[in-house]
A and B are shown apart, each in its own frame.
Chain A
Amino acid sequence: MAEKLISKIPEGPLAEKWTKHKSQIRVVSPGNKRKLEVIVVGTGLGGASAAASLGELGYNVKVFCISDSPRRAHSIAAQGGINAAKNYQNDNDSVYRLFYDTIKGGDYRAREANVYRLAEVSNLIIDQCVAQGVPFAREYGGLLANRSFGGAQVSRTFYARGQTGQQLLLGAYAALNRQIAAGTVKSYPRYEMLDVVLINGEAKGIIARNLVTGKIERFGAHAVVIATGGYGNAYFLSTNAMNSNGSAAWQCYKKGAFFANPCFAQIHPTCIPVHGDQQSKLTLMSESLRNDGRIWVPKKMEDVKALRAGTKKPSDIAEEDRDYYLERRYPAFGNLVPRDVASRAAKERCDAGYGVNNTGLAVFLDFKTAIERLGKDVIAARYGNLFQMYEKITDVDPYKEPMMIYPAIHYTMGGIWVDYNLQTTVPGLYAIGEANFSDHGGNRLGASALMQGLADGYFILPYTIGDYLAGKFKEPKTDVNAPEFAEAEKAVVEKIEKLFAVKGKRSVDSYHKELGHIMWEYVGMARNEAGLKKAIELIQALKADFWKNVYVAGENSHFNQELEKALRLVDFFEIGELMARDALNRNESCGGHFREEMQTEEGETKRDDENYMYVAAWEYKGEGVEPELHKEPLVYENIKIATRNYKD
Chain B
Amino acid sequence: MDLTLKVWRQKNAKAKGHFETYQVKNISSDSSFLEMLDILNEQLIAEGVDPVAVEKGCQSSGPVSFDHDCREGICGACSLYINGRAHGPDDEVTTCQLHMRKFKDGDTITIEPWRSAGFPVIKDLVVDRQAFDKILQAGGYVSVGTGGVPDGNAIPIPQADAEESMDAAACVGCGACVATCKNGSAMLFVAARVSSLALLPQGKVEAARRAKAMVAKMDELGFGACTNTKACEMECPKHVTVTHIARLNREFLSAKLHD
Contacts and interface: CB of A to CB of B under 8 A. Distances in A.
A245 to B, nearest CB: 11
B146 A128 contact: yes
A383 to B, nearest CB: 14
Interface stretch (B47-55, B177-185, B247-255): B47-55
Contact of A166 (B74, B93, B151): B74
Contact of B67 (A68, A281, A388, A462): A68
A212 B46 contact: no
Given A163-B170, A241-B70, A393 B99 contact: yes
Contacts, number: 233
B69 A67 contact: yes
A167 interface: yes
Interface in B4-50: 11-12, 27-28, 30-32, 34-35, 38-39, 41-42, 44-46, 48, 50
B140 interface: yes
Given A56-B145, A163-B74, A559-B122, 6 more contacts: A70-B133, A133-B202, A136-B152, A161-B166, A178-B141, A392-B73
A393 B97 contact: yes
B70 A76 contact: yes
A315 interface: no
B71 interface: yes
Interface residues of B, number: 82
Nearest to A181: B137
Interface in A128-164: 128-133, 135-144, 158, 160-161, 163
Counting contact residues on chain A (CB < 8 A from B), the size range is: 35 or more
A392 B93 contact: yes
A74 interface: yes
Given A139-B159, A142-B157, A174-B140, A395 B101 contact: yes
9 contacts: A53-B146, A68-B129, A69-B133, A127-B151, A142-B159, A241-B75, A281-B72, A553-B50, A562-B45
Contacts of B140: 174, 177
B202 A131 contact: yes
Contact of B153 (A72, A143, A166, A388): A143
A131 B70 contact: no
Interface string A400-436: 0000000000000000000000000000000000000
Interface of B: 11-12, 27-28, 30-32, 34-35, 38-39, 41-42, 44-46, 48, 50-52, 62-63, 65, 67-77, 90, 92-93, 97, 99, 101, 122-123, 126, 128-130, 132-133, 136-138, 140-147, 149-153, 155-159, 162-163, 165-166, 169-170, 172-173, 196-197, 200, 202-203
A276 interface: yes
A275 B30 contact: yes
Interface of A: 49, 52-53, 56, 67-72, 74, 76-77, 86, 88, 124, 126-133, 135-144, 158, 160-161, 163, 165-167, 170, 173-175, 177-178, 180-181, 187, 189, 212, 241-243, 275-276, 278-281, 283-284, 385, 388-389, 392-393, 395, 458-459, 462, 505, 507, 509-510, 551, 553-555, 558-562
A86 B152 CA distance: 9
Contact of B142 (A126, A131, A389, A392): A131
A241 B101 CA distance: 23
Contacts of A559: 12, 65, 122-123, 126
Contacts of A141: 156
Nearest to B198: A133
A389 B93 CA distance: 9
Contacts of B42: 507, 509-510
B209 to A, nearest CB: 12
A278 B39 contact: yes
A144 B65 CA distance: 43
Given A52-B146, A189-B130, A555-B52, A280 B71 contact: yes
Nearest to B66: A561
Contacts of A158: 152
B37 to A, nearest CB: 10
A554 B101 contact: no
B146 A561 contact: no
B172 to A, nearest CB: 8
A559 to B, nearest CB: 4
Shortest 7 CB-CB contacts between residues of A and residues of B:
A142-B156, A174-B141, A131-B149, A135-B165, A135-B166, A559-B123, A275-B30
Contacts of A166: 74, 169-170, 172
A132 B123 contact: no
A132 B142 contact: yes
A133 B197 contact: yes
Contacts of A509: 38, 41-42
A635 B233 CA distance: 57
B136 to A, nearest CB: 5
A325 B142 CA distance: 47
Contacts of B68: 242
A68 B127 CA distance: 9
A181 B140 CA distance: 11
B72 A283 contact: yes
Contacts of B77: 67-68, 72
A275 B147 contact: no
Nearest to A389: B73
